[in-house]
Chain A
Amino acid sequence: MSVGAVSVLRLVLRRELTLSFRRPGQLLQPLVFFLIVTTLFPLGLSPQLSLLRDMAPGVLWAAALLASLLSMDGLFKGDSEDGTLEQLVLSGQSLTLIVIAKTLAHWLVSGAALVVVSPIVATTLAVPVEAFPIMMLSLGLGTLTLSWLGAIGAGLTVGLRRGSVLLSLIVLPLAMPLLIFGANATDRAIGGESAAGALYFLAALCVFTTTLAPIAASVALRITLE
């Protein structure tokens, strides 16, 4: 039975989201991790609000990158262990499409969720409310880009025993431009300046990875599953 591209996307997306919401504990873990990591900094440095505001962009961004990488490991793992992934590869549908759907579903429950809770964390770091829209927009673009990069990494490490550390090792260097521009945009928003330049750059990176990363990730999966 042949299925159109749109319905492949829709079916895989729905399956992934259903599976995620059946395990709400796993869904919450990266968010709690995000909260805990950001708590470490005031405790470790100083609770002084002016200092916190200065470091807020870096802390928020580094914590967000780590939190969404943490869950990246599971992108293909579960499906690979129970054999679903092989069936998806053999289904005759474009693997790239399947990767797109899986990554988007993953981003919706990890990256987008991080964006939603980020104002809470930002408030504790003394980020002014006026900076929230820019911060959330930059985090949204950044975590989506990271999901695409992470999909390549997850595809490359899917069959490996200690894949999760290796995944961070290979994805984090690639993600450094995100940290630079994301933190810069947030920093400018806090200072009341225009963050357009950094946001455009984040958007460009997002479009770039959205175009190419699914192809690279599907090649990675074919290599590791073969």
Chain B
Amino acid sequence: MWTWFYRLASPPSVYRVAGVFAPWLLLSAAVFIVYGIIDGLAFAPPDYQQGDAFRIIYVHAPAGWLSMFAYTLMAIAGAVGLIWRIKMGHAVAAAVAPVGASFTVLGLVTGSLWGRPMWGTYWAWDPRLTSELILLFLYVGVISLRAAFEDPNRGDRAAALLAIVGVVNVPIIHYSVQWWNSLHQGATVAKFAKPSMPGSMLWPLLAMFMGYMLFFFGVLCMRVCAEILNRERQASWVREVVRA
């Protein structure tokens, strides 16, 4: 069973599979996102309190969710690379990091744009914003640690270890930031109660979640392909692929 697994996780087969999946993932992502954007921005009813400004949720919430998902995926991929010494684990981890960081930035930027009309300020030290910001710092740490090593092998493993340490810390940071603010004052910002959302608002949101997810994996497949070509550039099969 393990030999089968190792063969599947070998660079050429991952390259092939990711290359096949990437266009389909991106295509279906486009379908979901186009539907979600049109329905969410044009047809969903405006919020009774927030008016049309709430519509930014369709861009914002999936980005915030993916930023955390991508970090976890990066830590898991890194752990796979570190523990079982599967090179592809590190390739995936290296490919995820910038994508996850971009989603974190997107979540922060759309969040602060949303904050301006709702809270009257671009930035509030709200627990969610703060922990998202710290998550961005964690991403930056992992990316720059990997880049700091001249030997890519060491960089991979060091970054993997840091990602694992970070993933253990993420819940601690999340809760401590939450308690920190609640210790100072009560919630001054209107909280969005998700289950109380009517279906006409919810469907485009779910479609956007799905679309973001598919887009994320599509981009990930493309980046993994590029990562493999770069890492295996000495291998003969890569020369054949590039020549073809």
Is A76 positioned at the interface, with any CB of B under 8 Å from its CB?
no
Cα distance A152–B160 when bound, in Å?
13
Which residues of A lie under 8 Å from residue B99 when comparing CB positions?
none
Interface SS of B by simple majority: helix
Stretch at the interface among B46-54, B61-69, B132-140, B215-223: B132-140
Which residues of A lie under 8 Å from residue B154 when comparing CB positions?
159, 223-224, 226
A181 contacts B176, CB within 8 Å? yes
Interface string of B137-151 (1 = CB under 8 A from A): 110111011001100
Which residues of A lie under 8 Å from residue B180 when comparing CB positions?
180-181, 184
B157 contacts A223, CB within 8 Å? yes
User: Interface size bucket, A side?
Assistant: 20 to 34
Is A24 positioned at the interface, with any CB of B under 8 Å from its CB?
no
Which residues of B lie under 8 Å from residue A173 when comparing CB positions?
134, 137-138, 141, 166, 173
Is B162 positioned at the interface, with any CB of A under 8 Å from its CB?
yes
Query: Which B residue's beta carbon lies closest to that of A220?
Result: B161
Residues of B at the A interface (CB closer than 8 Å) are: 134, 137-138, 140-142, 144-145, 148-149, 154, 157-158, 161-162, 164-166, 168-169, 172-173, 176-177, 179-180, 183
Extra A-B contacts (13), CB below 8 Å, given A160-B149, A180-B179: A152-B162, A156-B161, A160-B148, A163-B148, A166-B144, A166-B145, A166-B148, A173-B134, A176-B173, A176-B176, A177-B172, A216-B161, A224-B158
Residues of A at the B interface (CB closer than 8 Å) are: 152, 156-157, 159-160, 162-163, 166, 169-170, 172-174, 176-177, 180-181, 184, 201, 205, 212, 216, 219-220, 223-224, 226
